[in-house]
Chains A and B, each alone.
Chain A
Amino acid sequence: MIPEIGHVALIIAFILAVIQALVPLVGAQIGKTRWVNMATPVARGHLFFIVLAYACLSYSFLVNDFSVRYVASTSNTALPLLYKISGVWGAHEGSLLLWALLLSSWTVVVSIFSKGIPKIMLARVISVMGMVSVGFISFMLFTSNPFVRLFPAPVDGRSLNPLLQDPGLAIHPPMLYMGYVGFSVAFAFSIAAMIDGKLDSAWARWVRPWTNIAWVFMTLGIALGSWWAYYELGWGGWWFWDPVENASLMPWLVGTALIHSLAVTEKRAAFKSWTVLLAIFAFSLSLLGTFLVRSGVLTSVHAFATDPARGVFILVFLIIVVGGSLLLYAWRAPSLRSVGQFSIVSRETGLLLNNVILATMAGTVLLGTLYPLVLDALGVGKISVGPPYFNQVMVWLAVPLYSLMGLGFFLRWKKDSVSRLSRKIVIPLSVSLVIAVLLPLLFAPEQSGLTFIGLISASWVALTALLWLLNSNTSPFKLPVSTWGAVIAHIGMAVTVTGITLTSVYSHEKDVRLAPGEFYEIGDYQFKLIGVKEVRRDNYIAYQGIVEASEAGQHLVFLHPEKRTYSQSSMPMTEAAIDAGLFRDLFVALGEPLGDESWSLRIYHKPFVRWIWLGALIMAFGGLLAAMDKRYRRYTKTHAEVAK
């Protein structure tokens, strides 16, 4: 019964989404106030029924209703409660429902916080978001219904992939989807502005906080995914340039460009059509990612069970949403005249350059991800494009990006001079040079060009951000919150760059054979195998190794790497044991028994690896601060008064 209620709720939500997509939009066009006024109530009704559908599916998970096919294929009775809740989005159908839920939640939140926005504008925004929702709900109803029943119902379900039974991964998709869906707000605002034909500073001010919030979620989502891969997949890598990872990186890069471009559109009323295009791209790439992950055109470690029929559906959806918006863009963009003027040497130019590089980076990721498909489609042969390619090319693009990240802070809006600028950068540049040369000399066992490039970039980005705070004429504490946000986000990037550089260059990895009592040494660290025992838990049996780690003869910690066999699956899973630290991680994974009580073990020493995710957290915090700036609210109020 409950699944049927969920199904009906989904159908009602679909109907409401269609109304939401059409009525306010048409009303705005022909000037029917009542139709325009329907936008908010319909969006709320739509949310209500999606929440109901979502609750029904969650209920089916909680009560182990295996007559629901989706539940039977992703859950089982032995699954802990947390993974029954997260199991709802653990596979294709349910994750679409989560998308739809988040999308309609964003819509309602936008309608609540946008009291100051002209009603017509808001109605159009809500309509556009309704259209996207129509796409996702019909995707579920027509090809991937999570409420389909199974006859006869199995006694127990098949279980969630053991890899996914992890708290880090459980919250990773919602974060990422919040980001993807969040970009639909900027997208909807852009479409609305193009229909309206008017795009001013006020518009940019409305869009900025939403874009920032979406970006914050996206940053956290990507960082969580990377962290999960690091400790769960068991081989110590943190980024694999897998199509699924790339699918999240592309909108992030474009979103980053969008944040910067919006700043110019707000302050200088420039780059209007470019900003609109970026907003379209950020969301389109989110949708493209969905296509790549679910259609099966690319192979990925993380891909959903794929089905060409779904691929066709998403492709049609892409054509309508992206094609439609780009068509509108081709038609309306020329009318979006930018009024702000600036000279060649100015912050505007700096930010434009930054945008060019970020867009190139996103383009490169897209190129590398799709290139094998291009060659295959042309019948030229099959190739693989992997980490060696991306690492090599991206480093070349990252260096000019970091240079500009620092320069941008010193550049003045509108007009600046090269001589003033060069005076300003002497100090941070020379300090960065000193740091990049001295630090490895003092602490690192060996020198490398990569360390130099990484460290000079990181310290340059961090120092310029800090100096900007100190050098401004007002006290740093009187600066707007958004300024602090920008500075903190830049420092976060510097922290991440430091982490990436030092981990990549100085990590040490070794596969060893150890019998109880034997040890292996990496630098000052000693890893001694004490023994291996068998442990039994609710849903798995594991061999658990006990490894004593010590530093310079001093006991540090006991590590407990496990090799688990889950009850519902025959494949053994490696659960690495990690002693995390701010400056280094010690990482031990248990391999196979080799006879004579000895085991194979993989041991890593990874300096500064935490900085990668710590930096992402700092970036996200910066983005959050920037989104909270009072200015956005103040301006909205002023505008509201004007509108009255």
Chain B
Amino acid sequence: MMKKWLGVIFLMLSSIQLQAAIEIYQFEQAEHEQLYKQMIDELRCLVCQNQNLSASNAALAKDLRQQTYEMVTNGKSHAQIVDYMTQRYGDFVLYRPPVKSSTALLWFGPFILLFAGLMVLIITLKNRKQIIDEPLSEQQKTQLKQLLDEDDK
């Protein structure tokens, strides 16, 4: 436990700055600039509290921005830079998790959820259909009439 706390303290000391530095990088090509911006948006600053490289002023973030800049201007692709970073820091450095077996549920989960929701909906509606066929009781009829009358439209 103590160790965890010391850890938190030292990390806080190294990442106390919240706000981004404004650095001037020159790009010859517009595509390079665009890729650079995309990369520093999608890469995580490891020492920070959930910030990407572009938003952080931590020393490591600066170094990694510099590294990214050099790789981009040397013509490296998105995939190559991602490889470089994950080789050193693991998938943790990517804000866009790679699609693989351990993240399958993450990427497909929302659609599984949606599908499951729709299935439940369809089943519920089907069951409802059967109720409709049952004749209404007198009380239900009056209730229904009331409700319909109340309807503003």
* Distance, CA A385 to CA B113, complexed state (A): 18
A163 contacts B147, CB within 8 Å?
no
* Distance, CA A353 to CA B119, complexed state (A): 11
User: A352 and B114 in contact (CB under 8 A), knowing A301-B49, A386-B95?
Assistant: no
Which residues of the other chain, B, contact A357 by a CB distance below 8 angstroms?
Answer: 114, 117
A341 contacts B18, CB within 8 Å?
no
* Extra pairs beyond A233-B55, A381-B91, A384-B94 (7, CB < 8 Å): A267-B147, A339-B143, A357-B114, A371-B106, A384-B44, A389-B106, A602-B22
Which residues of the other chain, A, contact B114 by a CB distance below 8 angstroms?
Answer: 356-357, 360, 397
Q: How far is the CB of A528 from chain B (nearest CB, A)?
A: 17
Interface string of B86-99 (1 = CB under 8 A from A): 00001111111100
Q: Does B23 contact A (CB under 8 A)?
A: yes
Chain B residue nearest to A510 in the complex (CB) = B33
* Distance, CA A342 to CA B129, complexed state (A): 8
Interface string of A385-398 (1 = CB under 8 A from B): 11111001100110
Q: How far is the CB of B61 from chain A (nearest CB, A)?
A: 12
Which of A88-96, A183-191, A278-286, A361-369 sits within the interface? A361-369
Residues of A within 8 A of B (CB): 163, 201, 233-235, 237, 242-243, 267-269, 298-301, 303, 308, 339-344, 349, 352-353, 356-357, 359-360, 363-364, 367-368, 371, 375, 380-389, 392-393, 396-397, 413-414, 472, 479-480, 483, 509, 511-513, 571-574, 589-592, 594, 600-602
B117 contacts A383, CB within 8 Å?
no
13 residue pairs bridging A and B, Cβ less than 8 Å apart: A163-B18, A234-B20, A242-B50, A267-B150, A301-B50, A339-B143, A353-B121, A356-B121, A367-B110, A367-B113, A383-B94, A389-B97, A600-B23
* Distance, CA A633 to CA B18, complexed state (A): 49
B96 contacts A389, CB within 8 Å?
yes
A387 contacts B95, CB within 8 Å?
yes
B91 contacts A382, CB within 8 Å?
yes
A201 contacts B147, CB within 8 Å?
yes
Chain A residue nearest to B52 in the complex (CB) = A386
User: A388 and B42 in contact (CB under 8 A), knowing A340-B147, A360-B114?
Assistant: yes
B22 contacts A299, CB within 8 Å?
no
A269 contacts B55, CB within 8 Å?
no
Which of A267, A299, A387, A594 is close to B49, meaning CB atoms less than 8 Å apart? A299
* Distance, CA A396 to CA B107, complexed state (A): 12
* Distance, CA A352 to CA B147, complexed state (A): 19
User: A341 and B153 in contact (CB under 8 A), knowing A511-B23, A574-B19?
Assistant: no
How many of B's residues come within 8 Å of A, CB to CB?
58
* Distance, CA A392 to CA B107, complexed state (A): 10
Q: Does B151 contact A (CB under 8 A)?
A: yes
* Distance, CA A236 to CA B19, complexed state (A): 11
Q: Does B25 contact A (CB under 8 A)?
A: yes
Q: Does B16 contact A (CB under 8 A)?
A: yes
Q: Does B59 contact A (CB under 8 A)?
A: no
A384 contacts B92, CB within 8 Å?
yes
Q: How far is the CB of B46 from chain A (nearest CB, A)?
A: 9
Chain A residue nearest to B33 in the complex (CB) = A510
Q: Does B6 contact A (CB under 8 A)?
A: no
Closest 8 CB pairs of A and B: A591-B22, A386-B95, A388-B96, A356-B117, A364-B110, A600-B22, A382-B92, A513-B24
User: A511 and B110 in contact (CB under 8 A), knowing A301-B18, A381-B91?
Assistant: no
Which of B22, B41, B125 is close to A344, meaning CB atoms less than 8 Å apart? B125
Q: How far is the CB of A448 from chain B (nearest CB, A)?
A: 14
Which of B37, B106, B125, B152 is close to A483, meaning CB atoms less than 8 Å apart? B152
Q: Does B128 contact A (CB under 8 A)?
A: yes
Which residues of the other chain, B, contact A242 by a CB distance below 8 angstroms?
Answer: 50
Which of B23, B102, B111, B128 is close to A341, meaning CB atoms less than 8 Å apart? B128
* Distance, CA A243 to CA B50, complexed state (A): 9
Which residues of the other chain, A, contact B102 by a CB distance below 8 angstroms?
Answer: 375, 380-381, 383
Which one of B22, B95, B105 has the highest number of Cβ atoms from chain A below 10 Å of its Cβ? B22
Which residues of the other chain, B, contact A384 by a CB distance below 8 angstroms?
Answer: 44, 91-95, 97
Q: Does B2 contact A (CB under 8 A)?
A: no
Q: Does B123 contact A (CB under 8 A)?
A: no
Which residues of the other chain, B, contact A375 by a CB distance below 8 angstroms?
Answer: 102-103
Which one of B21, B44, B93, B120 has the highest number of Cβ atoms from chain A below 10 Å of its Cβ? B21
Q: How far is the CB of A205 from chain B (nearest CB, A)?
A: 11
Which residues of the other chain, A, contact B90 by a CB distance below 8 angstroms?
Answer: 381-382
Which residues of the other chain, B, contact A380 by a CB distance below 8 angstroms?
Answer: 102
Q: How far is the CB of B132 from chain A (nearest CB, A)?
A: 5
User: A512 and B24 in contact (CB under 8 A), knowing A388-B96, A397-B114?
Assistant: yes
Which residues of the other chain, A, contact B49 by a CB distance below 8 angstroms?
Answer: 299-301, 303
In chain B, positions 114-153 with a C-beta closer than 8 Å to chain A are 114, 117-118, 120-121, 124-125, 128-129, 131-132, 140, 143, 147-148, 150-153
